[in-house]
Amino acid sequence: MITINDNYLKLQASYLFSDIAKRVASFQKNHPEIDVIKLGIGDVTKGLPPASIEAFHKAVDEMANDASFKGYGPEQGYDFLRDAIAQNDFQARGADIQADEIFVSDGAKCDTGNIQELFSTDITIAIPDPVYPVYLDTNVMAGRTGIFENGRYQGLVYLDSTKENNFIPALPTEKVDLIYLCFPNNPTGSTISKEELKTWVDYAKDNKALILFDAAYEAFVRDENLPKSIYEIDGAKEVAIEFRSFSKSAGFTGTRCAYTVVPKECMAYDKEGKSHSLHSLWNRRHCTKFNGVSYPVQRAAAAIYTKEGKAQCKALIDYYMENAFTICQTMDKLGYKYVGGDNSPYIWIEGNMDSWEFFDMLLNKAGVVCTPGAGFGKCGEGYIRISAFNSHEKVQEAMQRLTKALG
């Protein structure tokens, strides 16, 4: 008899964004005359940078010619892209990351989910609340939690992120082995200072713990005093793995390209306390289960590091941040408290009511889709997340609708 991995049975009935999609589909079926404006999931709406498109076309043409055709590429990524990433994203900011410590992939979501395969099932995990659901659900699937009870899984250490601590969780009061951090944060849009981030690095070093640092939204950081990478902090290379994505910084959500940084100094331990290179372990896993990102996509990604590509990507970020400013202005006028929107494309809004009730109210009264905070964890209850990823016209219309519905 074939049996299942019964850890999957611990998962909640549906993925957050699937629930949202079902409610929106039902609303549209019953109200076909209303043009629903979606400010929920973080999917971009602007086209790829022209530099990337030009490089994409050129690479596709290469694939049509026997002499320049590319078959299987290096699983870790082509040198032309890894070199560009190391120089521009890290070394230019004083972070000593080398090209061979970078692993190109088809998405940060995949990598943050897959990385947990390297670790024992009996480790103690600290996860922020609210949190991007992938961190939590993949560990449930792997059997690192107990049952779901009173809004949380047993066996995890939850790091409360609330308005009382400016949505930056405090260090755990108990010893933990694996820590998930995301800044600029998804969903709250909060940011962390270098001084605050250093306390986490110091904790990890003192406790032989590991930090999984999700920096997928670093391109939206405008305050030069804020870190874009955890490797701007001394000692982080010994205790942190960082995830990056081209999805939001260059509009690659439909093109799929990202990367993970695993420094060679970064170690984990076996049952006897002997250290092992996580770089080597991830490389082994990567080569076994991944055949690499396509050559044209990697050429398109590398093009964003050209002078033209950098300017075009900045224009994309500026476009979405204009939307964020418009949303924040509206919330100010309506009297809602919020965080985010200044160094992040997300605005985390205190709704003063049940999250799903607020979601339904915006959908039914304004035809606007947000994301209910409760879907990100217990501490998200009472909040909604609004995304700046849409056109200026759609965002402005959505804010006019919200003003009419809520004002």
Residue with tokens 């949380």: 152
Question: Does 314 have pLDDT greater than 70?
Answer: yes
Which helix (H) or strand (E) is 319 found in, with range?
helix 307-334
CA-nearest of 45, 49, 48 to 323 is 45
pLDDT band at 231 (very low <50, low <70, confident <90, very high): very high
Mean pLDDT, the chain, integer: 96
CA-nearest of 186, 112, 182, 174 to 142 is 112
Model confidence over 330-345: pLDDT tens digits? 999 999 999 999 999 9
The dihedral through the CA atoms of 345, 351, 355, 356 has a sign that is negative
pLDDT band at 18 (very low <50, low <70, confident <90, very high): confident
For position 19, what pLDDT does the model report? 84
pLDDT band at 12 (very low <50, low <70, confident <90, very high): confident
Q: What is the pTM of this model?
A: 0.96
CA-nearest of 131, 133, 160, 186 to 347 is 186
Tell me how crowded residue 93 is: count the other CB atoms within 10 A of its CB: 14
SS3 assignment for 371-407: EEHHHHCHHHCCEEEEECCCCHHHHHHHHHHHHHHHC
Question: Does 15 have pLDDT greater than 80?
Answer: no
Helices (H), 175-306: 194-207, 246-249, 278-289, 295-302
- The two three-digit tokens of residue 398, written as one number: 């959505």
Determine how β-strand 152-153 pairs with β-strand 148-149: antiparallel
CA-nearest of 90, 338, 70 to 237 is 90
Q: Is 283 exposed, middle or buried (0-12, 13-18, 19+ CB in 10 A)?
A: middle
pLDDT band at 16 (very low <50, low <70, confident <90, very high): confident
Question: Does 255 have pLDDT greater than 70?
Answer: yes
pLDDT band at 66 (very low <50, low <70, confident <90, very high): very high
The CA distance from 81 to 4, in Å, is 40
For position 14, what pLDDT does the model report? 67
For position 41, what pLDDT does the model report? 78
DSSP per-residue codes, 258-281: EEEE--TT-EEE-TT--EEEHHHH
The CA distance from 160 to 179, in Å, is 13
Determine how β-strand 152-153 pairs with β-strand 258-261: unpaired
Question: Does 325 have pLDDT greater than 90?
Answer: yes
Q: What are the boundaries of each domain within the chain?
A: 6-47+308-406, 53-306
CATH number belonging to the domain at 53-306, selected among 3.40.640.10, 3.50.50.60, 2.60.40.10, 3.10.20.30: 3.40.640.10
| Alpha-carbon distances, residue 25 vs 22, 215, 356, 363 (angstroms) | 5, 32, 16, 11
Calculate mean pLDDT across residues 397-404: 97
Question: Does 13 have pLDDT greater than 80?
Answer: no
The dihedral through the CA atoms of 332, 388, 137, 339 has a sign that is negative
| Contacts of residue 243, Cβ cutoff 8 Å, sequence gap at least 6 | 108, 111, 112, 212, 213, 214, 215, 216, 258, 259, 260, 261
For position 316, what pLDDT does the model report? 97
Model confidence over 78-92: pLDDT tens digits? 999 999 999 999 999
For position 42, what pLDDT does the model report? 84
Question: Does 102 have pLDDT greater than 90?
Answer: yes
- The two three-digit tokens of residue 29, written as one number: 């079926």
The CA distance from 213 to 260, in Å, is 10
Model confidence over 116-136: pLDDT tens digits? 999 999 999 999 999 999 999
The CA distance from 354 to 351, in Å, is 8
For position 21, what pLDDT does the model report? 87
* Backbone φ/ψ region at 151: left (φ over 0), alpha (ψ -120 to 50), beta: left
Give me the helix-helix angle, 50-63 and 295-302, nearest 10°.
Answer: 150
Q: Which fold has domain 6-47+308-406?
A: Aspartate Aminotransferase, domain 1 (3.90.1150)
